[in-house]
Amino acid sequence: MQDRAAGRQKLVTLMQTIADFQAVYDHQTLDFGDKSPVCMVFSDGTMDGPSVTAAGSDDTHAYAIEYWWTRDLNTASATEASMDALTSQIRALLKRNRGANGVWQHAKIDGFSQPDNVILDSKQFRRERIRVVAW
């Protein structure tokens, strides 16, 4: 796959089909307003391959899908359950769309998702990151 931006936009389009997201961004941002949950899709690197010929090579691109949910200490258990459900939805959507589609030949989830907690502007968030590679 040559066009990294096209792959990122394809992932944004997929994430926009998840009704729970109040916003889906095609870049990193820390200004969500009062929206929650939100999703960001951004590039996470490029390398040669998987095929290299005398004419050149296709590139493999990595993308990060990060989703943030406002965490309320009174409803921390509910937030965690909501994040679990959202993670399942995203992973299922990615698995259904990993084959050739006019943008990439193949895409796959790259390793474990990475959950953590973040404080931003005195608000607590639950954040999770899924890395996807496409070629």
Q: Kindly report, residue by residue over 75-109, the tens digit of the pLDDT.
A: 778 888 999 999 999 999 999 999 888 888 899 99
For the entire predicted model, the pTM comes to 0.90
Average pLDDT of span 50-72: 83
Q: How confident is the model at residue 53 (pLDDT cuts 50, 70, 90)?
A: low
Amino acid found at 50: P
pLDDT at 39: 98
Reading the block at residue 20, the tokens are 């729970």
Q: Residues 119, 133: contact at Cβ < 8 Å?
A: no
**pLDDT digits 0-9 by tens, 34-50:** 899 999 999 999 998 77
The predicted pLDDT at position 109 comes to 96
Instruction: Answer whether residue 56 shows pLDDT above 70.
Output: no
- pLDDT of 33 reads 87
> pLDDT-based confidence at 58, cuts 50/70/90?
confident
Interatomic CA distance for residues 12 and 75, integer angstroms: 29
The burial of 98, by beta-carbon neighbours within 10 Å (0-12 exposed, 13-18 middle, 19 or more buried), is given as middle
Q: Which residues contact 76 (CB under 8 A, 6 or more apart)?
A: none
| Fold type of domain 20-48+59-134 | Alpha-Beta Plaits (3.30.70)
Residue carrying the six token digits 């895409």: 107
Coil vs helix vs strand at 30: coil
3 state SS of 132:
strand
Are the CB atoms for 20 and 28 separated by under 8 Å? no
Give, to the nearest 10 degrees, the angle between helix 76-96 and helix 4-15.
Answer: 130
So where are the chain's domains? Answer: 20-48+59-134
